[in-house]
């Protein structure tokens, strides 16, 4: 592929205005250069590749037609914003993508005036666009507002709420529907089938336009016949043309358009800009286009770590997702009522194996976490044992459903909370640092936080076979260590006996705490069950001078706060020192860098523990 210094055309693009200097042939060459450069950088840094390869020409055309210094471009999710960054003065810095202090993997308003809205989660772009457009009307600002949303994001209900609002109020927002037939995994559901029909509707559209034009040119009766034809067309299109959905919502529908034809895209965007009413521009793109390994396997290259640029091969890695999914398959063999649910993340959560072995008990609801939680509640009420595997940062989207539909009814739903804790290069929109804190507010919710692969397996069995109500099992990105499991999953493991200074660590941080405490005169407990709390262990800790809690979640109202509240209620004089993530934005970087920033690295943990020991063992 190519380094930045080798790119003849991209090096000349300092702002989108420079696109006007290029011929159509040069714009096509620019698209090739951009693809080549993205492959090179992502192969070294990891990132979202396939989606960006698919929107290269689309993004060039948008920047040719609109002036996004003044106009606003809102990305949905935002992992397809790399091309946008390259065209808006950030090409030279792009090699720092996803690194600490470098170019973010998602739009960030603090990074560039061209980034209109911080994104990272799905189905939000249209709502944000409405907000900007309404504020502009109040403040007397004249500009175009464009929301770029993928067909996968249209499986999220929030997008429909916003589309309905726009159409009802006739707000002149331009919706660009990037249709690549994919979200992360292949799309599912009725909207996916609907869009598939729309891709085949071009011949009807062409016939309609041509026939109306012919009728209007018939002397005397042409306009009358054309009007009658229009009314007839409006009746029959309900039966043969799928774009009625958008038209009935109040949009003018344009498309489908070849998303890799810059000239055609430029023409349709110019047309959309001049309409002054709600518009949907339906664009067909190929995810992974231009890089053969990504075209062949777009799901693998959606979000990928470092890989061999020449072959597309990446180092094999096994993570906690695979461990959890394997154990879920084993459990499903023995328990016919166990079912698995995903929200468009079958690959990311390891559930592809379950899907293959138990297709009739596997349910992918698309990017619809709220729906997934309430559906799981219904399945539990009817007698099955649903296991919803979901990233921590995405489960937040279903908080009301967790409370209202699952916990208040005390239904047996198991939540496999993947990517819990700090996640590294994806940054603040994807950290799973809030789940302990918000799950602790919910009645009847048990929370297990295993520290090893063996405990992860045991936690799943415990949640399915022993715990009566809802249960969350949180596990980090990466792979927990393998070590012999001692004791009961619902009891804390005493790794080092009680001392005046005791450490209670949970999840992946038990390993770090164990290493730090090995040669120190302190007690150490593995708090693998956050709720219910192990009252026997806490009774011992109540006699300590200092209890240092260690968690990879928000310190505010988290595990440490719960320990402190319990000891205070018992009248203990122990001083609890919670160590965890501060309640502020933790920027992208490696997990090690983020741990150090939050006081969770082994070096920082040692400093905290030794400072507590100082006044006792001096």
Residue positions counted in the chain:
618
Do 365 and 266 lie in a common domain? no
Domain that holds residue 552: 493-617
Closest CA to 49 of 33, 37, 65: 37
Taking 80 as the threshold, does the pLDDT of residue 200 lie above it?
no
369, 428, 455, 551: which one is catalytic?
369
Taking 80 as the threshold, does the pLDDT of residue 217 lie above it?
no
Do 553 and 439 lie in a common domain? no
Q: 578 pairs with which residues across the strands? A: 549
Backbone angles phi, psi at 503, to 5 degrees: -115, 130
pLDDT tier at 156, thresholds 50, 70, 90: confident
Q: What is the CATH number of the domain that holds 94?
A: 3.40.50.970
pLDDT in tens, 394-429: 999 999 999 999 999 999 999 999 999 999 999 999
pLDDT in tens, 287-338: 999 999 999 999 889 989 999 999 999 988 889 999 999 999 999 999 999 9
Do 611 and 539 lie in a common domain? yes
Residue 56 lies in a domain: no
pLDDT tier at 222, thresholds 50, 70, 90: low
Pair of tokens at residue 382: 């009817």
Taking 50 as the threshold, does the pLDDT of residue 198 lie above it?
no
CA distance 324 to 345: 14
The torsion region of residue 256 among left (phi > 0), alpha (psi -120 to 50) and beta comes to beta
72, 85, 98, 287: which one is catalytic?
287
Annotated catalytic residue 397: yes
CA distance 221 to 224: 5
Q: Give the pLDDT confidence score for residue 227 in this predicted structure.
A: 57
Q: Give the pLDDT confidence score for residue 199 in this predicted structure.
A: 45
Question: Among the listed ranges 13-17, 68-72, 223-227, 438-442, which one has the minimum average pLDDT value?
Answer: 223-227
pTM: 0.89
Residue 210 lies in a domain: no
Which of 286, 313, 348 is the last residue in one of the domains?
A: 286
Q: Give the pLDDT confidence score for residue 121 in this predicted structure.
A: 92
What rounded mean pLDDT belongs to the chain? 91
Backbone angles phi, psi at 530, to 5 degrees: -80, -35
- Considering only residues 329 and 157, tell me which one the structure prediction assigns the higher pLDDT: 329
Calculate what percentage of the chain has a pLDDT beyond 90: 83
Do 460 and 498 lie in a common domain? no
CA distance 26 to 263: 12
Q: What is the CATH number of the domain that holds 531?
A: 3.40.50.920
Annotated catalytic residue 528: no
339 vs 164, 290, 474, 600, CA distance in Å?
34, 38, 19, 36
Annotated catalytic residue 593: no
Do 517 and 459 lie in a common domain? no
Do 117 and 252 lie in a common domain? yes
For residue 399, give every residue at least 6 positions away whose Cβ sits within 8 Å of its Cβ, in sequence order, or none. Answer: 438
Work out how many domains the chain is built from and give that number: 3
Q: 279 pairs with which residues across the strands? A: 174, 252
């Amino acid at each position: 592929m190519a380094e930045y210094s080798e790119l003849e055309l991209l090096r000349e693009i300092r702002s989108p205005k420079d696109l006007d200097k290029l011929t159509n042939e040069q714009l096509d060459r620019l698209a090739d250069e951009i693809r080549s450069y993205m492959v090179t950088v992502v192969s070294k840094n990891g990132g979202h590749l396939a989606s960006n390869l698919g929107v290269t020409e689309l993004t060039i055309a948008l920047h040719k037609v609109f002036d996004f210094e003044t106009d606003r471009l809102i990305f949905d999710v935002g992992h397809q914003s790399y091309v946008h960054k390259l065209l808006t003065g950030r090409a030279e810095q792009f090699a720092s993508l996803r690194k600490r202090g470098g170019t973010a993997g998602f739009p960030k308003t603090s990074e560039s005036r061209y980034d209109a809205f911080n994104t990272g989660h799905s189905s939000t772009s249209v709502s944000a666009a409405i907000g900007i457009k309404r504020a502009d009307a109040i403040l007397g600002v004249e500009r175009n507002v464009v929301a770029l949303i993928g067909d996968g994001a249209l499986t999220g209900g929030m997008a429909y709420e916003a589309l309905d609002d726009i159409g009802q109020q006739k707000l002149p927002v331009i919706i660009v529907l990037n249709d690549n037939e994919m979200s992360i995994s292949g799309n599912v559901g009725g909207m996916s089938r609907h869009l598939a029909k729309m891709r085949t509707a071009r011949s009807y559209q062409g016939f309609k336009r041509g026939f109306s034009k012919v009728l209007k040119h018939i002397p005397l009766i042409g306009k009358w016949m054309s009007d009658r034809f229009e009314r007839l067309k409006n009746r029959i299109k309900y039966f043969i043309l799928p774009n009625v959905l958008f038209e009935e919502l109040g949009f003018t529908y344009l498309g489908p358009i070849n998303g890799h034809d810059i000239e055609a895209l430029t023409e349709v965007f110019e047309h959309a800009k001049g309409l002054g009413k709600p518009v949907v521009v339906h664009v067909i793109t190929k995810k992974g286009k231009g890089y053969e390994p990504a075209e062949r396997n777009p799901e693998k290259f959606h979000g990928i770590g470092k890989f061999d640029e020449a072959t597309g091969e990446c180092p094999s890695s096994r993570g906690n997702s695979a461990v959890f999914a394997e154990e879920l398959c084993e459990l499903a063999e023995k328990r016919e009522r166990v079912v698995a649910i995903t929200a468009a993340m079958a690959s990311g959560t390891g559930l592809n194996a379950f899907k293959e072995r138990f297709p009739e008990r596997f349910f992918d609801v698309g990017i619809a976490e709220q729906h997934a939680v309430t559906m799981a509640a219904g399945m539990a009420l009817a007698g099955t044992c649903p296991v919803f595997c979901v990233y921590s940062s995405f489960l937040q989207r279903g908080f009301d459903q967790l409370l209202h539909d699952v916990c208040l009814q005390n239904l047996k739903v198991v939540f496999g909370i993947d990517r819990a804790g700090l996640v590294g290069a994806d940054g603040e929109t994807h950290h799973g640092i809030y789940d302990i804190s918000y799950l602790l507010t919910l009645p009847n919710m048990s929370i297990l936080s295993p520290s090893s692969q063996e405990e992860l397996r045991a936690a799943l069995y415990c949640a399915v076979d022993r715990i009566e109500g809802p249960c969350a099992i949180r596990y980090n990105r990466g792979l927990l260590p393998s070590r012999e499991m001692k004791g009961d999953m619902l009891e804390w493991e005493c790794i080092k006996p009680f001392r005046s200074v005791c450490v209670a660590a949970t999840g992946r941080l038990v390993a770090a705490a164990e290493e730090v405490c090995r040669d120190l005169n302190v007690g150490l407990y593995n708090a693998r069950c956050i709720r219910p709390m192990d009252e026997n262990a806490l009774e011992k800790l109540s006699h300590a001078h200092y209890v240092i809690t260690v968690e990879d979640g928000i310190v505010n109202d988290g595990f440490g706060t719960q320990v402190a509240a319990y000891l205070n209620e018992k009248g203990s004089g122990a001083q609890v020192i919670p160590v965890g993530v501060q309640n502020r934005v933790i920027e992208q970087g490696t997990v090690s860098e983020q741990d150090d920033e939050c006081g969770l690295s082994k070096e920082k943990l040692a400093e905290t523990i030794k400072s507590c020991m100082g006044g006792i063992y001096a």
